[in-house]
């Protein structure tokens, strides 16, 4: 019997020690015209995503995947940025079986699993270009679990918790677990793309491309907002404050920045 067909009835010899890690970068891009506006943007980001706010986001993530928090370390940095790290563990919470189906993951009513040596981390990196007005905010997030449940359950929540213009996501399952017959299983749920775990509204909002290595259980998805409205990328100003020629130039700058981040390489300017 295949692993896919027997997933819910799989009997393991001991603990499920597969390690599942979701790592991704979330980017927010804006145009801040003056030094004062650029400074205000950094201050806004530092306030909106300080260590206290990030801690709350990661606590919500732990609730979504059904993890108990063992330890929290958090830090705000000078001049900007913040980090939060949580060690997590899992105890049974009252349902007999955990579904591993590749469906979008809202807050679950209850989950069963056993996590050990698992963690959730986030680090933020706000920065501003001193000359061309482009400012960016990057959040690096890792959700690593050991056991039956998947960190992908928290993917939609995390994307919506940040101002996500671009998302670069990686998911990998490492190691193996052994069933009662001694057979090794290198993955315990069906997946052919991270997109399987995205809600419909998320898939509709983003242009996405995949680079997957299925035989190695490595999945990579890049996401970029489909709709470009310049006013959404102006910080401390509105479109009406710029001439049509200025708006075209600023729009080209912002789109160029997004394209470079999305492609992962420097692009020639038009």
269 found inside a domain = no
* Active site (annotated) includes residue 114: no
61 found inside a domain = yes
Among 128, 144, 146, 161, the active-site one is 146
223 found inside a domain = yes
160 found inside a domain = yes
> For residue 96, what pLDDT is reported?
34
149-184: per-residue pLDDT in tens? 679 989 999 999 998 999 999 999 998 888 888 888
Token pair, residue 140, equals 């690096």
270 found inside a domain = no
4 found inside a domain = no
Closest Cα to residue 144, out of 193, 197, 87, 187? 87
Among 74, 114, 123, 129, the active-site one is 123
2 found inside a domain = no
Could you list the beta-strand ranges (E) of the chain: 19-31, 68-76, 82-89, 118-128, 134-146, 166-174, 177-178, 184-185, 206-210, 218-225
Among 118, 128, 144, 161, the active-site one is 118
Domain coverage including residue 180: 14-263
pLDDT band at 9 (very low <50, low <70, confident <90, very high): low
The proportion of the chain whose per-residue pLDDT surpasses 90, expressed as a percent, equals 60
162 found inside a domain = yes
> For residue 168, what pLDDT is reported?
96
* Active site (annotated) includes residue 185: no
CATH number of the domain where residue 209 is located: 3.60.90.10
Domain count along the chain: 1
């Amino acid at each position: 019997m295949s692993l896919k067909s027997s997933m819910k009835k799989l009997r393991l010899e001991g603990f499920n020690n597969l390690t599942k890690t979701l790592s991704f970068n979330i980017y927010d891009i804006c145009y801040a015209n003056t030094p004062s506006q650029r400074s205000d943007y950094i201050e806004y980001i530092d306030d909106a995503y300080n260590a206290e706010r990030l801690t709350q986001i990661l606590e919500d993530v732990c609730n979504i995947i059904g993890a108990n928090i063992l330890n929290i370390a958090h830090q705000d940095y000078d001049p900007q940025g913040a980090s939060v790290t949580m060690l997590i563990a899992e105890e049974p919470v009252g349902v007999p079986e955990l579904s591993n189906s590749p469906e979008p993951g809202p807050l679950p009513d209850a989950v069963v699993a056993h996590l050990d040596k698992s963690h959730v981390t986030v680090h933020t990196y706000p920065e501003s270009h001193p000359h061309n007005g482009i400012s960016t905010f990057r959040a690096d997030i890792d959700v690593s679990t050991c056991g039956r449940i998947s960190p992908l359950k928290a993917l939609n929540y995390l994307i919506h918790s940040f101002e996500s213009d671009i998302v670069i996501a990686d998911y990998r399952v490492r190691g193996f677990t052994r069933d009662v017959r001694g057979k090794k299983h290198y993955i315990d749920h069906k997946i052919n793309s991270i997109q399987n775990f995205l809600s419909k509204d998320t898939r509709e909002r983003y242009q996405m491309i995949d680079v997957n290595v299925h035989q190695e259980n490595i999945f990579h998805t890049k996401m970029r907002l489909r709709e470009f409205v310049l006013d959404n990328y102006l910080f401390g100003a509105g479109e009406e404050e710029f001439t049509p020629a200025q708006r075209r130039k600023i729009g080209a700058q912002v789109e160029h920045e997004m394209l470079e981040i999305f492609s992962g390489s420097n692009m020639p300017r038009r």
